[in-house]
Amino acid sequence: MDQTALPDVERLLRLETVEEVVDAIQRLAVRGAPAIGVAGGLGVALAAFTLSDLSAAVTALREARPTAVNLARAVDRVAAVLVNGPEATLAEALAIRDEEIASSDSMAAYGVDLIGELCGRSPRLLTHCNTGGLATVTGGTALGVVFALHRAGRLAGVVASETRPLLQGARLTTWELARAGVPFRVSVDGAGPFLIARGEVDAVIIGADRICANGDVVNKIGSYAHALGAARAGVPFVVVAPESTVDRATPHGAAVEIEDRGSAEVARALPAANPAFDVTPFDLVTAVVTDRRVVRFAAGQTWDDVPLGPLRSSL
């Protein structure tokens, strides 16, 4: 699905070269940490079937976007089996895809239990950017939890932050929420903390592009402001992301390369600061929900305190 065309046009893309895969990732036709990981892995398989210079293709795919850890991790994983031939790379890429599908379902199960514990039966949730099937393969991360709560009749509604400057919330999240029949309102990014302070939100639930060893969360720009608003109001701030987004090799958020997408998306002929992501410090994160566990960083837990649990089903 070409995410740059939504919600007005539902257009499927057929990517037939590595250059087309790289371009789709860079221009956000394919976006979301798990989704670009799957796309990157399939891109390596495509290179194995079609190219002789595989090292250049692998480098181009790996560096298409620098911040989300899933992309580099998936590319490296598929590249590691290049010596076994093209069919092996395709099998590995499809295995990553299938793992992300199972991961989404398991995150939903863990997340529904946590939100119920924190907020009661029918919470009002605020989310930022897009974290549904468009950003994964199916289901989603934070929106996967939202959809599961809705299916169970345990959701009052959602505030979807519009997500400047490319409006992933207003364009993509609302498209997914409407298709699922979830009641929602769109808010401008800056209104989120005020809505939280005014008592209109019971919890903030977002995804992540990278979660560091200390629990710092790298996510779409605007996430940090919502975390500050939630902390001030005493509202839970929950991050939902698969274990594949956890980066124990990066100590903290300050060590992450934050992509700046330049001025064109923000202003014409004016200099602009346009970071694509920000960093929410771990002590503002009530809990991180993965497909295998729930880690409560604001309460002092670390990754080592919570062992990996089983994959679960939200059905």
Per-residue pLDDT, 242: 95
Say which residues have a Cβ less than 8 Å from residue 259's Cβ, sequence separation at least 6. 65, 66, 67, 275, 276, 277
Per-residue pLDDT, 67: 81
Q: For the sheet with 210-212, list strands across it.
A: 246-247, 210-212, 217-220, 277-280
As a whole number of angstroms, the distance between CA 105 and CA 148 comes to 9
Share of the chain above pLDDT 90, in %: 95
Catalytic residue, from 105, 189, 209, 247: name it: 209
Span 105-130, mean pLDDT? 96
Span 224-228, mean pLDDT? 98
Residue 5 has pLDDT above 90, yes or no: yes
Per-residue pLDDT, 196: 98
Q: Please name the amino acid found at residue 100.
A: E
DSSP label at residue 255: G
The answer to whether the bond into 7 is cis (omega within 30° of 0) is yes
Max intra-chain CA distance, the chain:
59
Q: Which helix (H) or strand (E) holds 92?
A: helix 86-119
- 209 is a catalytic site residue: yes
Per-residue pLDDT, 276: 95
Residue 167 backbone zone (phi > 0: left; psi -120 to 50: alpha; other: beta) = left
Assess contact for 313 and 111: CB atoms under 8 A: no
Q: Which helix (H) or strand (E) holds 128?
A: strand 124-128
DSSP label at residue 152: T
As a whole number of angstroms, the distance between CA 201 and CA 197 comes to 8
Per-residue pLDDT, 314: 79
Q: Please name the amino acid found at residue 228.
A: L
Per-residue pLDDT, 134: 96
Tokens encoding 189: 């990014």
Say which residues have a Cβ less than 8 Å from residue 105's Cβ, sequence separation at least 6. 139, 144, 311, 312, 313, 314, 315
Share of the chain above pLDDT 70, in %: 100
Residue 184 has pLDDT above 80, yes or no: yes
Angle at 244 between CA 241 and CA 247, to 5 degrees: 95
Residue 229 has pLDDT above 90, yes or no: yes
Buried b / exposed e across 172-198, counting CB within 10 Å, b at 16+? bbbbbbeeeebebebbebebbbebbee
Per-residue pLDDT, 169: 98
Span 172-198, mean pLDDT? 97
The answer to whether the bond into 275 is cis (omega within 30° of 0) is no
pLDDT band at 53 (very low <50, low <70, confident <90, very high): confident
Q: What is the CA radius of gyration of the chain?
A: 19
As a whole number of angstroms, the distance between CA 131 and CA 104 comes to 10
Per-residue pLDDT, 190: 96
pLDDT in tens, 59-97: 999 999 988 789 999 999 999 999 999 999 999 999 999
pTM over 0.75: yes
Span 100-109, mean pLDDT? 96
Q: What is the mean pLDDT of the chain?
A: 96
pLDDT in tens, 165-183: 999 999 999 999 999 999 9
Residue 209, classified by CB atoms within 10 Å of its CB into exposed (0-12), middle (13-18) or buried (19+), is: buried
pLDDT in tens, 291-313: 999 999 999 999 999 999 999 99
pLDDT in tens, 252-284: 999 999 999 999 999 888 999 999 999 999 999
Per-residue pLDDT, 121: 84
Residue in this structure with the two tokens 């959701």, named with its chain if needed: 155
Residue 315 has pLDDT above 80, yes or no: no
Per-residue pLDDT, 26: 96
Residue 241 has pLDDT above 80, yes or no: yes
